[in-house]
Structure 1
Amino acid sequence: MTSAPDFSSLKAVFINATLKRSPEPSNTDGLIVKSADIMRSHGVGVTEIRAIDHQIATGVYPDMTEHGWEVDEWPGILDQVMAAEILVLAGPIWLGDNSSIMKQVIERLYSASSILNDAGQYAFYGRVGGCIITGNEDGIKHCAMNVLYSLQHVGFTIPPQADAGWIGEAGPGASYLDPGSGGPENDFTNRNTTFMTYNLMHAAKQLKDAGGISAYGNQRTVWDAGVHSYVKDSGSPNPEYR
């Protein structure tokens, strides 16, 4: 068996998009713990954030207090995301889709589209993303597709099998942490959670060791300046602001 790489230089942030405020138990948190514990066992610094516990404003700018909101705790959360190499968005299924809190978190990640890294790339380049979905109705793959598409669209790298989830019996059945649900013992879920976790760490380490995504052909600053050959050769007009 291949020996484990040294992941101890990595940091990860899990954002739980449950609709339940602390300290109410969250079934999504029950599955987050499995992934987070694997990371911690390898020395990864893990931060867990329950988004609904924070006053996150609605909007498409990094700090909505600059646009009429009295309070916006998102900038502090974004700082923690930017300090990490791994981001995992986790949440429940409601009406076959992601929760309203998940949608809000994704919108606020998108609000960072105006931020660039030191290489002139979009700010999330060089970071990896994954997702965890829980519920007692169908929709894991649908929800995961939306989350993972959104993450890659704003610049995160998505490694293989970057999603994991659990659903119980369709309808008002048992939730993940309910006694007798079978969730914590489910081999399929445990395997996917484990593979996702290691793939996130592998990809994050590889990107970090490589200094991020190569800065050629993807620099917003160069595109805007129009000074590099790849801009001149592209034959494409300057795209509108994302």
Structure 2
Amino acid sequence: MTVPATSYADLRALVVNCTLKRSPERSHTQGLIDLSRTTMERQGVQVEVLRAVDLDIATGVWPDMTEHGWESDAWPGVYEKVMAADILTLAGPVWLGDNSSVMKQVIERLYACSSLLNEHGQYAYYGRVGGCLITGNEDGAKHCAMNVLYSLQHLGYTIPPQADAGWVGEAGPGPSYLDEGSGGPQNDFTNRNTTFMTWNQLHLARILKDAGGIPAHGNQRSEWDAGCRFDSDNPEHR
């Protein structure tokens, strides 16, 4: 097999595990994260994994909730890690056919910072790549992925092809991903999709980093607020 000539060693990735289980309790989602993480690290990518439920992340839609009545908020520190990463993967379980409450909270806090701008006057998350991993022993993985990927692109992330992967067992009570006899770690469909997702994240992050991000024309909030309309019709002058 030919080893890719492209280097990914200058890329950084952040994975946020949105399990409901606090450390050191075993997270089945972490098992799937590790598959993607190993692929990245073999290419020299610096990967950091956070378990959001271990952190004192406040609820709300402002960048720092200590300015809005909360005594403490770990989110500003998480946001620094988000902005330092070329790739962001949100990973979590299915509960009642939907994303976990922790996943929803993380997305809300990402949204809280989405109005901030980068040095080009674009929204802050421009030029970064997103993706998601979903686990569970009930149906709903695709529904969860749709919600996560829509949210990330709406906030400014670029989503590559095949940017989601997941594993769910048989409907009803049963073994979860890492449980003995689940078949999860050996599932070819999940392993293939996780591998494809990870490589597509790497490829797109490489392209965007080499290009200096998304071209800054027609999408600069700072210019729009200053009156520039980028050749679009101005309703007030029709």
Q: What TM-score comes out, normalization by structure 2 length?
A: 0.96
CA root-mean-square deviation? 1.1
CA gap 1:236/1:95 in 2 versus in 1, 3 angstroms? farther
Secondary structure (helix, strand or coil) at the match of 1:113 reads coil
Spell out, residue by residue over 1:86-136, the C-alpha distance to the aligned partner (whole angstroms, 9 max, x if none). 000000000000000000000000001221000000000000000000000
Spell out, residue by residue over 1:5-55, the C-alpha distance to the aligned partner (whole angstroms, 9 max, x if none). 100010000000000000000000000000001000000000000000000
CA distance in 1, matches of 2:81, 2:229: 36
CA distance in 2, matches of 1:6, 1:236: 47
Q: Report the Cα offset of residue 3 of structure 1.
A: 4.1
1:235 corresponds to 2:213: no
Equivalence map 1:68-217=2 (5 Å): 68-217=69-218
CA distance in 1, matches of 2:235, 2:117: 21
| Amino acid corresponding to residue 55 of structure 2 in structure 1 | H
CA distance in 2, matches of 1:127, 1:234: 30
CA distance in 1, matches of 2:33, 2:235: 43
- Give 5+ residue unaligned stretches, structure 1: 238-242
| Amino acid corresponding to residue 161 of structure 2 in structure 1 | P
Q: Report the Cα offset of residue 235 of structure 1.
A: 2.7
Report the counterpart of residue 225 of structure 2 in structure 1.
224
CA distance in 1, matches of 2:88, 2:131: 6
Secondary structure (helix, strand or coil) at the match of 1:132 reads strand
Secondary structure (helix, strand or coil) at the match of 2:107 reads helix
Give structure 1 regions of 4+ aligned residues with deviation exceeding 3 angstroms: none
Secondary structure (helix, strand or coil) at the match of 1:201 reads helix
Q: Report the Cα offset of residue 229 of structure 1.
A: 5.2
| Amino acid corresponding to residue 165 of structure 2 in structure 1 | A
Report the counterpart of residue 240 of structure 1 in structure 2.
none
CA distance in 1, matches of 2:51, 2:229: 45
CA distance in 2, matches of 1:220, 1:233: 14
CA distance in 2, matches of 1:64, 1:234: 39
| Amino acid corresponding to residue 136 of structure 1 in structure 2 | N
Secondary structure (helix, strand or coil) at the match of 1:145 reads helix
| Amino acid corresponding to residue 167 of structure 1 in structure 2 | V
CA distance in 1, matches of 2:210, 2:169: 40
Aligned residues: 235
CA distance in 1, matches of 2:164, 2:125: 19
CA gap 1:170/1:236 in 2 versus in 1, 3 angstroms? farther
Secondary structure (helix, strand or coil) at the match of 1:234 reads coil
Q: Report the Cα offset of residue 221 of structure 1.
A: 0.2
Q: Report the Cα offset of residue 233 of structure 1.
A: 3.0
CA distance in 2, matches of 1:235, 1:218: 16
Overall identity of the aligned pairs, in %: 69
CA distance in 1, matches of 2:212, 2:121: 14
Secondary structure (helix, strand or coil) at the match of 1:233 reads coil
Report the counterpart of residue 44 of structure 1 in structure 2.
45
Equivalence map 1:55-70=2 (5 Å): 55-70=56-71
1:27 corresponds to 2:36: no
